[in-house]
């Protein structure tokens, strides 16, 4: 019986470490002062298995260069260990979802739930940039 407890303990310990490692890549990173990255982040809430989320991911990848001139794309996957905290913080109930945040993770704007075109994303981001410079 003690051997079973030991094996179960080691299994749970390794499972916890795997979840912690898998979730560590989905936290918005602080921009490095050595690079010219934008101070805004476009948080992309995604279910990797969902069809609409896959379509949105393809659009973001296609427009990545233009989008990342204005905001860093930060995927937040439902499969991530830390995702529930961010989903709750931003009140995400429908996927895919895009939320623009500042360096302090304060919401600046939210896109309508569902798939957004690349052109629509760029238009909205440029309007936010203009509004912030006035």
Q: Is the pTM of this model over 0.75?
A: no
Phi/psi region, residue 43 (left: phi>0; alpha: psi -120 to 50; beta: rest), is: beta
Residue among 132, 128, 110 nearest 44 (CA): 110
Q: pLDDT of 11-66, one tens digit each? A: 444 444 444 444 444 444 444 433 445 799 999 999 999 999 999 999 999 999 99
Compare 111 and 15 and report the one with higher pLDDT: 111
Residue 1: band (very low, low, confident or very high) from pLDDT cuts 50, 70, 90: low
Task: For residues 90 and 53, give the distance between their C-alpha atoms in angstroms, rounded to a whole number.
Answer: 18
Please state the separation of Cα 38 from the chain's center in Å.
15
Which domain CATH number covers 115? Answer: 3.40.30.10
Element (H, E) at 14: helix 2-23
- Please state the domain count of the chain: 1
Residue ranges making up the domain that contains 85: 2-27+35-133
Q: pLDDT of 84-104, one tens digit each? A: 999 999 999 999 999 999 999
């Amino acid at each position: 019986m003690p051997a079973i407890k030991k094996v179960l303990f080691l299994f749970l310990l390794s499972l916890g470490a795997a979840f912690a490692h898998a979730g560590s890549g989905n936290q918005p990173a602080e921009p490095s002062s050595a690079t010219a990255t934008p101070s805004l982040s476009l948080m992309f809430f995604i279910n990797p298995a969902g069809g609409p989320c896959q379509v949105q991911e393809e659009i973001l990848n296609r427009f990545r260069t233009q989008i990342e001139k204005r905001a860093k794309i930060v995927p937040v996957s439902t499969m991530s260990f830390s995702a529930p905290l961010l989903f709750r913080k931003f009140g995400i109930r429908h996927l895919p979802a895009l939320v623009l945040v500042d360096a302090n993770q304060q919401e600046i704007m939210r896109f309508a739930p569902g798939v957004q075109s690349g052109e629509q994303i760029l238009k909205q981001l440029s309007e936010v940039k203009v509004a912030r410079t006035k």
